[in-house]
Structure 1
Amino acid sequence: MAQLKSSSRDNILDAAQRVASREGAGKLTLDKVACECGLSKGGLLYNYPNKEALLKSMLDRLLDQFLSIAETEERAMAGEPNAHLRAMLRAVAGHQMVDPGTYMCILTASAENPELLEPMRAVFRDSYQRISSECTDPDLGLLLWSAADGILFHHILGIAPYPQAEKSKLFQKLLKLSEEMS
Structure 2
Amino acid sequence: MPRKPVARDAVLDAYESLLIEVGERAATLDAVAKGAGVSKGGLLYHFPNKEALISALLERLDELAQEDIERMKAAPDGAAAYFIRTSLWGGTPMDRAFVAATRLAEVAHEETRRRFAGIQRQWLGVLAEDVGPEVAKAVSYMGDGLYFNAMFEGGQDAGNTDREADVEILLGVLDRLRK
TM-score, structure 2 normalization: 0.74
Structure 2: where are the runs of 5+ without partners?
A: none
Instruction: Provide the secondary structure at the position in 2 that maps to 1:27.
Output: coil
* Cα contact 1:19–1:33 (8 A) shared by 2: yes
Aligned residue for 2:102?
A: 107
Aligned residue for 1:126?
A: 122
* 2:87 is the counterpart of 1:88: no
2-side partners of 1:2 and 1:176: how far apart?
Answer: 54
2-side partners of 1:128 and 1:90: how far apart?
Answer: 15
Q: Which amino acid aligns with 2:116?
A: M
Structure 1: where are the runs of 5+ without partners?
A: none
* Pair 1:146–1:14, CA change in 2 (3 A): same
Aligned residue for 1:139?
A: 134
Aligned positions of 1:58-69 closer than 5 A:
58-69=57-68
* Pair 1:2–1:88, CA change in 2 (3 A): farther
Aligned positions of 1:47-86 closer than 5 A:
47-77=46-76, 83-86=78-81
How far residue 41 of structure 1 moved from its aligned partner, in angstroms, is: 1.2
2-side partners of 1:38 and 1:14: how far apart?
Answer: 11
1-side partners of 2:123 and 2:91: how far apart?
Answer: 21
* 2:159 is the counterpart of 1:166: no
* Pair 1:131–1:21, CA change in 2 (3 A): closer
Q: How many residues align?
A: 173
Identity in percent: 23
Q: Which amino acid aligns with 1:37?
A: A
Instruction: Provide the secondary structure at the position in 1 that maps to 2:73.
Output: helix
| Two-structure CA RMSD over aligned residues (Å) | 3.3
How far residue 130 of structure 1 moved from its aligned partner, in angstroms, is: 3.1
* Pair 1:97–1:134, CA change in 2 (3 A): closer
* Pair 1:50–1:13, CA change in 2 (3 A): same
Aligned residue for 1:45?
A: 44
* Pair 1:71–1:176, CA change in 2 (3 A): farther
